Structure 1
Amino acid sequence: MTELDFDFLRVLLQRRSGLFLSIEKRYLVESRLGMLCRRRAIAGIPALVAQLRTCPASELEAAVVDAMTTNETLFFRDRTPFDLFRDIILPEKLAANAQSRTLRIWCAAVSTGQEAYSLAMLLDEVADRLAGWTVEILGTDISADVLERARQGLYSQFEVQRGLPIQLLLKHFRQEGDKWRLSERIRDKVDLKQHNLLEPNHQFGQFDIIFCRNVLIYFDVPTKARVMAALAGRLAQNGAFILGAAETVIGITTTLVPDPQYRGVYRDAASTAQARRPGFAATAERSSALPPLKIVRT
């Protein structure tokens, strides 16, 4: 792969997906796109780039973006955000939305679905508290291929062993050969749609809770700011925005501010300044609202 070919691919990937590739990532491009070339019987990366130059905005471009997108995910990844969701954020929203009895959650960059399905399983554990409520979980991703895998809900033994509590595996999955199929009942709780975070998102409406974890790390600062501005515009007043443990909004946006008590949780800056931590009940009230789920590790 020539330097010109690499530069062309870097520009294409950043324009189409926001993915920023430093020169140190050249090996990753050669590895992943080399596999794509072999699958499609393309002579090599120079031939691939020649086709991309000839046919911009083609299906091949989408395949290149898909090949370069990191789809690393697992059930209950980094357990803390899910504990916060169930024990802190969910009781908060149940109290705040008691009149409308609606709850909307967005999992951006949902990949093969484990994050959204983890939330769906947690909500299923408190289904009695949500009787009469309209609960929506939207999962979006740029890749049509991973979304199709998510819709199938079929996971390998390795995938279900990564973070999934054994009692939830036995409750919500059935074994099919050497794989495990998530129940249709849980899959039906999640609406999966293809969406590029660089594109307009107004069609999705407002959300009480937005998960966008371990995505910003792949963007440069201007792209991070653009994506965060778009996502923050979808967050309802007094909503909760959850980032990955290694991510922050500091230096990227002033629309959201860190929750002073819970790492990885962010709040709307205007609402927070006006109401001095609106929507947060006392710790005793929160802990009594929903008893913590006991997790048995696999």
Structure 2
Amino acid sequence: MTPLDYEYLQKLLKDRSGLVLSADKKYLLESRLLPLARKAGVPGITDLVQKMKAGSDSLINDVVEAMTTNETFFFRDKTPFDHFKDSVIPELIKARAGRKSLRIWCAASSTGQEPYSLAMLLKEKAAELAGWRIEIIATDLSPEVLEKCKAGLYTQFEVQRGLPIQLLVKYFKQVGTMWQLNADVRSMVQFRQFNLLQDFTALGKFDVIFCRNVLIYF
């Protein structure tokens, strides 16, 4: 990869996704884009860049998606979710008692563990939230991970990362070697493709915004 190739990719990724790659991240680009180059039938990143410059929008989207970090797990780091359960929900129940509605946004929801963790916590408060309108909007740049989100289907490894066993038993059913979230929990979350560089106005107003998966990496 030439310095000009790297410069082109840096600018493209910043413009398309907000991702800023410093000069020492060439190894990261190479490790993620070389498999994509082979898949596109070219020997290296320089050839990949040439194809992108020739106007291949689908390839550009694939490159942006390949550079997106989709690391996430249920109840990630535990403390923010404990705070949501023990402090935020009780305060919101009091503050929004007049309108009986809550809107929550999970930005960069990745494969869905964060919004589904919030949905399960709200399910646990079902008695206190009876008659309330609950909306959880989960957005991500990647259409591929959003498809996984909608299915609510996770491997044994994924459900073992952070998910308490009592919630696994209560809200999941086993499907072969996988675990699927019950339909009533899945229906609490709306998944939408959204680029965080876009105007947020169309998403509306929210009572709570989880953007930890963004802040951790940016």
Fold conserved (TM > 0.5)? yes
Q: What's the offset of the Cα at 1:24?
A: 1.4
Preserved CA contact (<8 Å) 1:37 1:45: yes
The whole-number CA distance in structure 2 between the counterparts of 1:90 and 1:140 is 21
Question: Is the aligned partner of 1:171 residue 2:148?
Answer: no
Preserved CA contact (<8 Å) 1:139 1:190: yes
Question: 1:119 — aligned with what?
Answer: 118
Q: What's the offset of the Cα at 1:165?
A: 0.3
| CA displacement, residues 42-90 of structure 1 (integer Å, 9 cap, x when unaligned) | 332111100111116x121111110000000000001011111011011
Residue type at the aligned position of 2:154: Y
Residue type at the aligned position of 1:36: L
| CA displacement, residues 85-119 of structure 1 (integer Å, 9 cap, x when unaligned) | 01101111110110000100000000000000000
Question: 1:27 — aligned with what?
Answer: 27
Preserved CA contact (<8 Å) 2:109 2:213: no
Question: 2:83 — aligned with what?
Answer: 84
Match of 1:207, SS state, is coil
| Structure 1: tracts of 5 or more residues without a match | 220-298
The whole-number CA distance in structure 2 between the counterparts of 1:128 and 1:217 is 34
Match of 2:213, SS state, is coil
Preserved CA contact (<8 Å) 1:30 1:45: yes
| CA displacement, residues 229-278 of structure 1 (integer Å, 9 cap, x when unaligned) | xxxxxxxxxxxxxxxxxxxxxxxxxxxxxxxxxxxxxxxxxxxxxxxxxx
| Structure 2: tracts of 5 or more residues without a match | none
The whole-number CA distance in structure 1 between the counterparts of 2:73 and 2:157 is 10
Question: Is the aligned partner of 1:188 residue 2:177?
Answer: no
Q: What's the offset of the Cα at 1:188?
A: 0.6
Question: Is the aligned partner of 1:205 residue 2:204?
Answer: yes
Greater mean alpha carbon deviation, residues 60-69 or residues 173-182: 173-182
Preserved CA contact (<8 Å) 2:107 2:213: no
Preserved CA contact (<8 Å) 1:52 1:60: yes
Q: What's the offset of the Cα at 1:153?
A: 1.0
| CA displacement, residues 99-156 of structure 1 (integer Å, 9 cap, x when unaligned) | 0001000000000000000000011111111111111000000111111111111111
Length, aligned pairs only: 218
Question: 1:70 — aligned with what?
Answer: 69
Residue type at the aligned position of 2:40: R
Q: What's the offset of the Cα at 1:29?
A: 0.4
The whole-number CA distance in structure 2 between the counterparts of 1:94 and 1:217 is 29
Preserved CA contact (<8 Å) 2:105 2:206: yes
Question: 1:7 — aligned with what?
Answer: 7
The alignment's TM-score, normalised by the length of structure 1, stands at 0.71
Which structure has more relative contact order (CA 8 Å, sep 6+)? It is 2
The whole-number CA distance in structure 1 between the counterparts of 2:168 and 2:156 is 11
Question: Percent identity of the aligned residues?
Answer: 57
Residue type at the aligned position of 2:199: P
The whole-number CA distance in structure 1 between the counterparts of 2:113 and 2:173 is 16
The whole-number CA distance in structure 1 between the counterparts of 2:175 and 2:105 is 30
Question: 1:158 — aligned with what?
Answer: 157
Match of 2:127, SS state, is helix
Question: 1:54 — aligned with what?
Answer: 54
Match of 2:104, SS state, is strand
- Give RMSD over aligned pairs: 1.1
Preserved CA contact (<8 Å) 1:20 1:218: no
| Runs (4+) off by over 6 Å | none
Greater mean alpha carbon deviation, residues 58-67 or residues 41-50: 41-50
Greater mean alpha carbon deviation, residues 135-144 or residues 170-179: 170-179
Match of 1:138, SS state, is strand
Match of 1:191, SS state, is strand
Q: What's the offset of the Cα at 1:210?
A: 0.4
The alignment's TM-score, normalised by the length of structure 2, stands at 0.97
Preserved CA contact (<8 Å) 2:104 2:137: yes
